[in-house]
């Protein structure tokens, strides 16, 4: 695989002047903050459209300033500190969540090599040989903010939300890691810029004797890994239908119940930053990163200059829309369903898929993309059919009359099924003694 001229490599990092590095850091932080503000507005507008209502449309043009107004309102609200709270941990828990979510953006490539004030530099803060593991570490550490916030609040509901988040991290972090293993095996590198570069070349396929060009994205080559990774991403970010750590129906607000004012706003900020960050990670690992989609690739200059940033942001917005779409469509799962789905469905399927890829690697010319597509797409379609195939409803339990009347001939008599105990001998004797008097009075013995 030969890298194109505009594709950065690990050797291109660490040569920028201090002011350029600082500018990249500020840009990544501003991207996370601005994407959060627009993400809240975007979610409320999209869910409002799905629910046939307008959504925010009064504060600013199209309601764009509504999120800013809500943030200022929360910042100036009264900050209530519970008496039973651990003050130090209670304060730093939301900070941990925000810092970890923003830090993951430092290894995300926003574009190719460009010229900024005469300096030839990649549109990425930094890159290391294990950059994807940095993203996984940030995703794992962000859960500590939720767990510590729930524990330090000194209340029952936040504690239950923190415990749920711990189990959720353990369950779906394994599935997410195995999905990324397939990317490592195919790309041969853990560098985010290298993974994006490996997806830049088109794949030549021969269909019915005609050669066609298909994108080399790992979402196509490794379709099962992409499906499982995105499902695990929804679980990692505590988004519906996996928003069990903050389930309002049974935990009030979950781990955020005892938080108020700016600390509550920081938890909300961390959730949306994590959603945008994981969307950017999904684009980087599976959707070609900043490379233009077809048919824009027909234009020779689509993947050069500053244009790739537009394709990258477009893909991120598309994945954020899917997050919002899931929230407006699917109901929340029960906790036992959620755990069963992670351990008994996603994990075994992922292990089998990794074994299949390992078997392909042992075959000569295993990395031929046409052969990988021939295996990956049918496996992904089979996985989708398995996950979303409608299940048959169980037959209703027979009623009491059906159980009594449908006994096979010669079977033992059934005991009383209506929980009515037969009258005792003394009761029957008393009723028998009163029977003549009841007949004379014109009443039934069953009414006595």
Distances (CA, A) of 188 to 8, 11, 122, 185, 428: 16, 17, 21, 6, 87
Alpha carbons 364 and 413: distance in angstroms, whole number: 70
Whether residue 170 lies inside any domain: the answer is yes
Alpha carbons 354 and 177: distance in angstroms, whole number: 11
Dihedral of CA atoms 117, 122, 123, 124 in degrees, nearest 10, equals -130
In this structure, how many other beta carbons lie within 10 angstroms of the beta carbon of residue 295?
A: 8
Q: Please state the pTM of the whole predicted model.
A: 0.81
Whether residue 96 lies inside any domain: the answer is yes
Whether residue 426 lies inside any domain: the answer is no
pLDDT, one tens digit for every residue, the chain (448 residues): 333 446 788 888 888 898 999 999 999 989 988 888 888 899 999 999 998 898 888 888 888 888 888 888 888 888 888 888 888 888 888 888 888 888 889 999 998 889 888 888 899 998 989 999 898 888 888 888 888 888 888 888 888 888 888 888 788 888 888 899 989 888 888 999 999 988 877 665 555 455 556 667 898 888 889 999 999 999 888 787 888 777 777 777 778 888 888 888 888 888 888 889 999 999 999 998 898 887 787 787 888 888 999 999 999 999 999 999 998 888 888 888 888 888 888 888 889 888 888 887 777 665 566 667 777 778 888 887 777 776 666 777 776 666 666 767 777 666 655 555 666 777 777 777 776 655 555 555 444 4
How is residue 63 annotated by DSSP? G
Whether residue 440 lies inside any domain: the answer is no
Contacts of 16 (CB under 8 A, 6+ apart): 24, 119, 121
Whether residue 59 lies inside any domain: the answer is yes
Whether residue 194 lies inside any domain: the answer is yes
In this structure, how many other beta carbons lie within 10 angstroms of the beta carbon of residue 180?
A: 21
Where does residue 64 rank: exposed (0-12), middle (13-18), buried (19+ CB within 10 A)? middle
> How many structural domains comprise the chain?
1
Structural domain for 15, as ranges? 10-293+307-388
Q: Which two tokens stand for residue 356?
A: 């299949």
Whether residue 204 lies inside any domain: the answer is yes
Whether residue 329 lies inside any domain: the answer is yes
Distances (CA, A) of 343 to 90, 133, 136, 145, 292: 32, 22, 19, 24, 36
């Amino acid at each position: 695989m030969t890298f194109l001229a505009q594709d950065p490599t690990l050797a291109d990092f660490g040569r920028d002047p201090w002011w350029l590095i600082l500018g990249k850091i500020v840009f990544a932080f501003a991207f996370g903050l601005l994407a959060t503000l627009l993400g809240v507005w975007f979610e409320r507008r999209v869910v409002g459209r799905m629910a046939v209502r307008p959504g925010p449309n009064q504060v600013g043009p199209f309601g764009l300033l509504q999120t800013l107004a809500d943030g200022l309102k929360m910042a100036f609200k009264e900050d209530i500190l519970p008496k039973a709270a651990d003050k130090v941990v209670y304060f730093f828990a939301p900070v941990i969540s925000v810092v970890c979510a923003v830090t993951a953006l430092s290894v995300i490539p926003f574009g190719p090599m460009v010229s900024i004030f005469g300096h030839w530099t990649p549109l990425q803060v930094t890159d290391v040989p294990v950059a994807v593991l940095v993203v996984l570490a940030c995703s794992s550490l962000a859960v500590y903010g939720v767990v510590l916030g729930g524990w330090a609040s000194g209340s029952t509901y936040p504690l239950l939300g923190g415990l749920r988040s711990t189990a959720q991290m353990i369950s779906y972090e394994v599935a997410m890691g195995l999905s990324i293993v397939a990317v490592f095996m195919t790309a041969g590198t853990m560098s985010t810029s290298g993974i994006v570069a490996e997806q830049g070349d088109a794949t030549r396929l021969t269909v019915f004797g005609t050669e066609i060009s298909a994108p080399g994205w790992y979402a196509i080559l490794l379709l099962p890994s992409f499906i499982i990774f995105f499902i695990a991403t929804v679980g990692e970010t505590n988004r519906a239908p996996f928003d069990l750590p903050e389930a309002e129906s049974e935990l009030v607000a979950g781990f955020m119940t005892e938080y108020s004012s700016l600390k509550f706003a920081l938890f909300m900020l961390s959730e949306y930053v994590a959603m945008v960050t994981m969307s950017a990670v999904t684009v980087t690992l599976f959707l070609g990163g900043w490379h233009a989609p077809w048919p824009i690739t027909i234009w020779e200059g689509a993947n050069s200059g500053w244009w790739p940033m537009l394709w990258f942001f477009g893909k991120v917005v598309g994945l954020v829309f899917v997050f919002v779409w899931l929230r407006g469509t699917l109901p929340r799962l029960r906790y036992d369903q959620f755990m069963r789905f992670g351990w008994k469905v996603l994990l075994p399927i992922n292990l089998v898929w990794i074994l299949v890829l390992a078997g392909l690697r042992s075959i000569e010319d295993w990395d031929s993309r046409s052969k990988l597509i021939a295996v990956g797409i049918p496996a992904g379609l089979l996985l989708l059919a398995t996950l979303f195939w409608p299940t048959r409803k169980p037959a209703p339990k027979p009623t009491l009359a059906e159980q009594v009347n449908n006994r096979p001939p010669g079977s033992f008599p059934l005991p009383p099924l209506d929980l009515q105990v037969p009258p005792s001998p003394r009761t029957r004797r008393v009723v028998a003694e009163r029977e003549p008097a009841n007949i004379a009075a014109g009443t039934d013995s069953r009414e006595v």
